Amino acid sequence: MACCDDPTEPKKLDRRDLIRLQEQYGELVRDLFTEDPEKVVLKLLNDANTYLTELAALHAHHPSVRLRAIEVLAQPSASDSPFGAAAQARLTQLM
């Protein structure tokens, strides 16, 4: 028996985590087919990490999603990266 985790071994996914991810994926697909995609993306933006929020601020299809992402990035904790600075510049252009 090894004393430590082997970093070369792939992480094993717990069956409960797999089931949870499958349910989340199914719910997302259902929402995209049955609801307004813009609202679905805005909802997902609330739980997105900084990198995805920055991408949304720069490249999201819906203007409301871009503006919401820029608002999130305007908070001091998230706007320290180069993408955050670019998003802030974009916000200045839009105003």
DSSP for 33-94?
A: HHS-HHHHHHHHHTT--HHHHHHHHHH-SSHHHHHHHHHHHTSTTTTTSHHHHHHHHHHHHH
pLDDT for res 80: 62
Per-residue pLDDT at 29: 93
Higher pLDDT, 84 or 10: 10
- The whole-model pTM stands at 0.58
Q: In angstroms, rounded to a whole number, what is the distance separating the alpha carbons of residues 86 and 27?
A: 32
Q: Name the residue with higher pLDDT: 77 or 10.
A: 10
Give residues with Cβ within 8 angstroms of 52, minimum separation 6.
45
pLDDT tens digit sequence for 72-91: 887 766 446 677 677 777 77
pLDDT at 20: 93
Model confidence at 22: pLDDT above 90: yes
Mean pLDDT, the chain, rounded, equals 83
Given this model, what pLDDT does residue 26 score? 94
- Report d(CA 66, CA 7) in Å as an integer: 38
